[in-house]
Amino acid sequence: MKPVLKLSLLLTFMISIHAVAHAQSLEQFKDQRMDETAIRITADKAIHLIAAKDYSGLGSILDSNMLMSARPGLVKQMVDLGAPVLASRGIPPAEQAHLMYSVNVIRGDSLLIHSIVYQADADPAVIDAKPVFFVFNFARVTGTDKLVGYHMGSKMKP
């Protein structure tokens, strides 16, 4: 068998094992899923607060532990980077936001993270422009009305 084919089969097998293991680990947390409607309401509120440049409003829906462990100026940076994108591209419709799940290990404990992902489409006026993703993370320990994580960028990270 050719080395390239062997490598391809090995990678396919490894990816298959990882996908099965990930699906099984998510299945363990099925009873920890939170109310999707409530999560979507908070994520929609967050994206609108960013668009409106409401620093204090956004700060009020971030988990206090997240704020304490984050670098100073996090809320300002979230708004200052996100607001111009939303102003030029518009706020993505809430009904098009995607719900994703991931299992993260934090301080030795496995935690089911719920993520709502909004996609601001690429600016058609800019050559090689990419869509921008706004990802809002939630965890059962803080409830559906507090964000435990946030990511904005051209690559989606749950």
Q: Does residue 158 fall inside a structural domain?
A: no
Tokens of 17: 């094992």
The answer to whether residue 1 sits within a structural domain is yes
The CA-to-CA distance between both ends of the chain, in Å, stands at 38
Interior angle at CA 43, CA 63 and CA 106, nearest 5: 40
- Specify the pTM: 0.76
Enclosing domain of residue 1: 1-32
Asked whether residue 13 is domain-assigned, the answer is: yes
CATH label of the domain that carries residue 72: 3.10.450.590
For the stretch 36-64, pLDDT in tens is 899 999 999 999 999 999 999 998 998 88
pLDDT, position 106: 67
Instruction: DSSP for 87-129, please give it.
Output: HHH-PPPGGG-EEEEEEEEETTEEEEEEEEEEEEPP-TTSTT-
Q: Tokens for 138, please give them.
A: 């939630």
Are 77 and 50 part of one and the same domain?
A: yes
Same domain (yes/no): 48, 19 = no
Instruction: With cut-offs at 50, 70 and 90, classify the pLDDT of residue 66.
Output: confident
Does one domain contain both 138 and 79? yes
Query: Please, are residues 50 and 82 in contact by the beta-carbon 8 Å criterion?
Result: yes
pLDDT at residue 47, rounded to an integer = 96
Residues 18 and 71 in one domain: no
Distance CA 32, CA 19 (A): 20
pLDDT of residue 127: 72
pLDDT of 129 above 80: no
Residues 13 and 56 in one domain: no
pLDDT for position 13: 34
Within this chain, do residues 88 and 61 fall inside the same structural domain, yes or no?
Answer: yes
One-letter amino acid at 12 equals T
More confident residue, 147 or 105: 147
What secondary structure letter does DSSP report for 40? H
User: If you average pLDDT over residues 123-134, what whole number do you get?
Assistant: 80
| One domain for residues 24 and 46 | no
Q: What is the pLDDT of residue 86?
A: 94
CA 20 to chain centroid, in Å, comes to: 22
Residues 3 and 60 in one domain: no
Is the confidence at residue 17, as pLDDT, over 50?
A: no
Same domain, 102 and 59: yes
Q: How many domains does the chain have?
A: 2
Give the whole-angstrom CA distance, residue 36 versus residue 12.
Answer: 33
Same domain flag for 68 and 42: yes
